[in-house]
Structure 1
Amino acid sequence: MKTVSFLILVQLSSSTFGQIRPNILFIVADDLGWNDVGFRNPDMITPNIDKLAHSGIILNQSYVQPVCSPSRNSWMSGYYPFRSGLQHIVIRPAQPVCAPLNRTFLPQELKKLGYKTHMIGKWHLGFCNVACTPNLRGFDTFFGYYTDAEDYYTKMKGDGIDFHENFEKAKPDGEYSANQFAKRAQEIINNHNSSEPFFMYLPFQSVHEPIEVPKKYEDMYKHIKNKGRRQFSGMVSALDEAIGNITKTLEEQHLMQNTLILFTADNGGWIPYFGNNYPLRGGKITVFEGGTRATAFITGAGITYRNATYNGIIHAVDWMPTLIGAAGGGPTYDGMDGINQWIFIQTLSDSARSEFIYNLDDTPFPLTGKAAIRSGDYKLIEGYPGPYPNWYKPDTVYEGLYNKSLYEEQSISEVEFKMYADKVMLFNIAEDPTEHFDLSEKRPDIVKNLQARLDEYRKQMVKANYPPNDKNGDPKYYDGYWSPGWC
């Protein structure tokens, strides 16, 4: 697929079709569902996100991993999680593990191109050793947290505080994190030396559980009777306002025109915590489209199309080489899974990618989907697809905090897992993106071919690096903070 002519085209793309060395703002919304934005769902109040999406290109087939650590590793390294040992669930706070240190991360490459690099928000790629932390993976500055989730105000995760500025422990001041992270982004933009480009990676905490939001945002959705969905929707609108404040600051500093903005979710919305992916099937943790087809768009410097939709396939591993290409850099590393898609997105041309892996995890009794591949229009799921495997409309009617019908639905059990052990499902995603029609019995020839492709990828798979928790990581040993230094 990567022919000589393709590589030459990639090298020419940044100078021929776009601006050299734009600022890059990479925004991540945590657990945001396909149906949780205004440009798809009129019940959602997201004017700033909608404006940005319509000012550029909505990415209709931008894929991520079923859960967050694997997606973040894909963005930063350009390698599939199953080749990095991160294919099994996510990195837990007390696990002595992090994203492989022998891989160069995206900000490290951008620094070679003269970028100042900043990270604000959620890391979730391991921190047990200081070498694993953002400042030593290419970021000039870091302001945020290391683990998977925490209280939006107190920054508590279990028995410890998780809040850091560069290598130092930061003191929580009780501010809602979406507002706090936006203010830090605005400070960096206001103080930026415009003679050099910046890369800002901004993985917000929002809208991951716990379900917490200032009441004024919840009150924007008084028509929603379900308290959880009402609060979740408010969280989305709080995120939208934060993004609007950041883009306003870019405009005030006359940086908007030369800033490329990429927005993506890290996985689908989480069904039991009110995220919604309708009409797609499933959600976070599954290898169905609802768990892996991300809400995403790209706009700004180098993007000339407006109010456009791109239907080409993009995978999370593609963003590292694609953003390097947008920054004027050339090909990266032989063997990387990611493909530079910059010119194809810019010109709305057919994607350079026709095949990708949703997940490969042969760990006994996994939580995330076991194995799935997309090749052309066809998708094969082998084994357990993950919990919450159905279709869920937004819950606006049920009066309560949680939707009891979802909690009563068995989410995962070894019995359920074994039921799927030898099962395969085949879908034509082009004709059936909502995965209603299993074609496995009608097209055994395609099943056989895709299983053979999966077996080829399995030859590259490394064992999941999923050790037990280490008591030495307990925050009580680090002044009550989740901190590095114990592996």
Structure 2
Amino acid sequence: MRREMFLPTLLVTAVLLSLSSARPPHIVLIVADDLGWNDVGWHNPQMYTPNLDKLARNGVILNSSYVQPICTPTRNCLMTGFYPYHTGLQHFVILDDTPGYIPTNFTTLPEKLKQLGYSTHMVGKWHLGYCNWKYTPTYRGFDSFMGYYNGREDYYTHEEGTGYDFRLNKDVHYLPQADYSAHTFARRAIDIIISVDPQKESLFLYLPFQSVHEPLQVPEKYEKIYSNIQNKERRIYCGMVSALDEAVGNITNVLRERGFMDNLLLVFTSDNGGNFQYGANNLPLRGNKNTLWEGGTKGAAFVYSETLLKKKNYENTEMMHAVDLFPTLLHVAGGSPDPGIDGMDMWPTISENKASPRTEFIYNIDDIDKNAAIRVGDYKLIEGIPGQNNGWYPLPTREVHFQEEDSVGRLNVDIQYQLFDIKHDPTEHFDISEKYPDVLEKLKQRLAEYKKSLVPAFSPPPDPKANPKYYNGTWSPGWC
């Protein structure tokens, strides 16, 4: 072989060997709790979120990324890749004393990533069942867990109702001093990052923060950032958003210092829309947390990577849903999901701005509340009452509060079906069901098809055996 032919062959061989030995990328999945559409800097310049803004604008802002209307169902989507109406978790949330959970026949995202050699860690809010140990994080694929099992608690004391809810792996974990949870979770995430060698291990870090779910609590220095806001609830809430932003900034700084950024994918999303009754805002979208309106189901989200995105610094408007993160992250990790999941691989859509493979999705089908919503192309069908808060809620002024059912909130609630063109009416002002009866009928038929695969909602009643008095004052597994 001539020398000039031999050298290129060696070069190609070296590149192929390098690619084959490259470790799967590190994955960080951050979930903000009850974050409103209008509560991030890239949507609202009045918000002080410099760290999140920088990541979003230098990555890919997801402008049409949908989630479930409330906490537990969205977390179900992220962990399983299945819609909640296929797992039985479509109705409301798992309460402290109710024995709900993801059924164990569903393989979770960390379980799949562990099969690919990942080190898997969780820091934050679980909210997917804890009545039996087998439903808790370290039994569902996580190597470590620091956080709480239930849906809400005090940001400093970790008390919820009559019990304490904070764990390090399986053990009840009493912190040495009262500390704001965003700081506690950031420090734990940083400790994990420091413990992992980015060149020898692939890290999956799941960070479902407590922030910015009520109760409204934040150190005073963050509230002072918004001293111009007269409404106290809104001022505290905005401070909570900025505290979350700082936590994310501290975490990403350490990721960069430790050499993770060369091979890392970071995903940020809200789990549902914001709750205006606790200071959040979803303008210009209609509705609130726990409604089927866009304001309850369109998540503020972005994806960031310095090396993995072929196209970045843009706003992606392609349709995607929370169930899609499961197969998308598996694809990035070099794996594939089991057949039959509801999620679709969105990596070409996100990383190259290619057309989404998804043309429709299910907002939710709730067989207890008797409501549902689906999207087919540009059209959205709502069946039944979409929620209790059905209006467009402005930013609060002074100490003015909205009633749970105001004059706006009662709009259209007596109509069985409503139809909207989301492309041309993203704020859902115009019900076009009477104007386009043929479209209405087609979507009703499509919804009927979806309902054929519905798993009845598993919504058990409260169980007195869950009472923390039986577990030294803590919310603990062992009662189902």
- The counterpart of 2:290, out of the listed 279, 285, 292, is 285
Q: CA deviation at 1:137?
A: 0.3
Query: Which among 332, 337, 353 is matched to residue 342 of structure 2?
Result: 337
Query: How far 1:406 moved relative to its partner?
Result: 3.3
**1:263 Cα offset (Å):** 0.1
The aligned residue for residue 325 of structure 2 is: 319
Residue of structure 2 in register with 1:260 after alignment: 265
Find the partner of 1:193 among 194, 197, 203. Answer: 197
1:159 counterpart residue number = 162
Select which of 223, 233, 236 maps to 2:238. 233
Q: What amino acid sits opposite 1:327 in the alignment?
A: A
Matched, 1:435 2:428: yes
The CA deviation at 1:387 is 1.4
Gaps spanning 5+ residues in structure 2: where? 1-17
Rounded Cα–Cα distance in structure 2 between residues aligned with 1:131 and 1:411: 44
Cα distance in structure 2, aligned partners of 1:23 and 1:279: 35
Deviation at 1:408, TM superposition (A): 6.3
Classify 1:150/1:352 alpha carbon distance in 2 versus 1 (closer, same or farther; 3 Å): same
CA distance in 1, matches of 2:42, 2:415: 39
**Structure-2 separation of matches of 1:25 and 1:345:** 16
Distance 2:378 2:415 in 1: 23
- TM-score, with structure 1 as normaliser: 0.92
What's the counterpart of residue 279 of structure 2?
Answer: 274
The aligned amino acid for 2:264 is T
Question: Is residue 29 from structure 1 mapped to residue 32 from structure 2 by the alignment?
Answer: yes
2:219 — aligned with what?
214
Residue in structure 2 matched with residue 184 of structure 1 by the alignment: 188
Q: Secondary structure at the match of 1:406?
A: coil
Which of 453, 474, 477 in structure 1 is aligned with 2:467? 474
Deviation at 1:411, TM superposition (A): 10
Measured in 1, the distance between the counterparts of 2:405 and 2:388 equals: 13
Contact 2:312–2:351 (Cα < 8 Å) also in 1: no
Q: Quick one: distance in 2 between partners of 1:411 and 1:134?
A: 41
Deviations 1:269-309 (A, max 9, x none): 01211111100111111111000000000011411323211
SS in 2 for 1:41: coil
**Which whole-Å CA distance do the structure 1 matches of 2:350 and 2:237 have between them?**
32
The answer to whether the 8 A contact 2:35-2:273 is kept is: yes
Is contact 2:391–2:408 with CA below 8 Å preserved after alignment? no
Q: Is the 8 A contact 2:65 2:320 kept in 1?
A: yes
Alignment partner of 1:55 is 2:48: no
1:191-225 CA distance string (max 9 Å, x none): 11220100000000000000000000000000000
Amino acid across the alignment from 2:335 = G
Offset, 1:238: 0.2
Preserved CA contact (<8 Å) 1:57 1:297: yes
Code of the residue aligned with 2:382 in structure 1: it is I
1:352 is matched with 357
Residue pair 1:271, 1:388 contacting (<8 A) in 2 also: no
Q: Which moved more, 1:386-395 or 1:443-452?
A: 386-395
Residue 402 of structure 2 aligns to a residue whose secondary structure is helix
Work out whether residues 23 and 201 of structure 2, in 8 Å CA contact, stay in contact via their aligned partners in 1. no
> Separation in 2 of the partners of 1:452 and 1:239?
43
Structure 1 residue ranges, 4+ long, deviating more than 4 angstroms after superposition = none
Q: Using the alignment, how far apart are the partners of 2:350 and 2:131 within structure 1?
A: 38
> Which structure has the larger Rg over C-alpha atoms?
2
Q: Is 1:140 aligned to residue 137 of structure 2? A: no
Tell me how far apart the structure 2 counterparts of residues 407 and 212 of structure 1 sit (CA, whole Å).
Answer: 22
CA distance in 2, matches of 1:35, 1:423: 29
**Residue-by-residue CA offset, 1:335-375 (whole Å, 9 max, x unaligned):** 21011111221110110101100010121xx3xx8100000
Aligned residue for 1:238, secondary structure, equals: helix
- Give yes or no for contact 2:388–2:404 (8 Å, CA) kept in 1: no
Q: Given the alignment, which residue of 398, 403, 406 partners 2:403?
A: 406
Paired letter, 1:284: K
* Residue 434 of structure 1, CA deviation: 0.6
Partner-residue secondary structure (3-state), 2:418: strand
The structural deviation recorded for 1:407 is: 4.5
Contact 2:388 2:405 in 1 (8 A): no
Question: For 1:418-462, what per-residue CA distance to the aligned partner results, in whole angstroms no more than 9, with x for missing partners?
Answer: x84652111111111111111000001011000001100111001
Cα distance in structure 2, aligned partners of 1:20 and 1:328? 10
Please say if residues 220 and 234 of structure 1, whose CA atoms lie closer than 8 Å, have aligned partners that are also in contact: yes
Change (3 A) 1:292 1:266: same
By how many angstroms is 1:405 displaced? 3.0
Q: Which deviates further from its counterpart, 78-87 or 420-429?
A: 420-429
Q: Is 1:375 matched with 2:376? A: yes
Cα deviation code 1:389-427 (max 9, x no counterpart) = 1111222x22x3xx4333463899xxx79x846521111
The number of residue pairs the alignment matches comes to: 458
Q: What CA distance in whole angstroms lies between the structure 2 residues aligned with 1:128 and 1:320?
A: 25
CA RMSD of aligned residues (A): 1.7
AA matched with 1:141? S
**Contact 2:389 2:404 (C-alpha < 8 Å) held by counterparts:** no
Q: What fraction of aligned residue pairs are identical, expressed as a percent?
A: 52
Aligned to 1:87: 90
Q: Match for residue 125 of structure 2?
A: 122
Is contact 1:151-1:157 (8 Å) kept? yes
Output the amino acid matched with 1:472. K
Q: Partner letter of residue 334 of structure 1?
A: P
- Structure 1 CA distance for aligned equivalents of residues 280 and 312 of structure 2: 28
Mapped partners of 2:407, 2:394: distance in 1: 18
Does the 8 A contact of 1:143 with 1:166 survive in 2?
yes
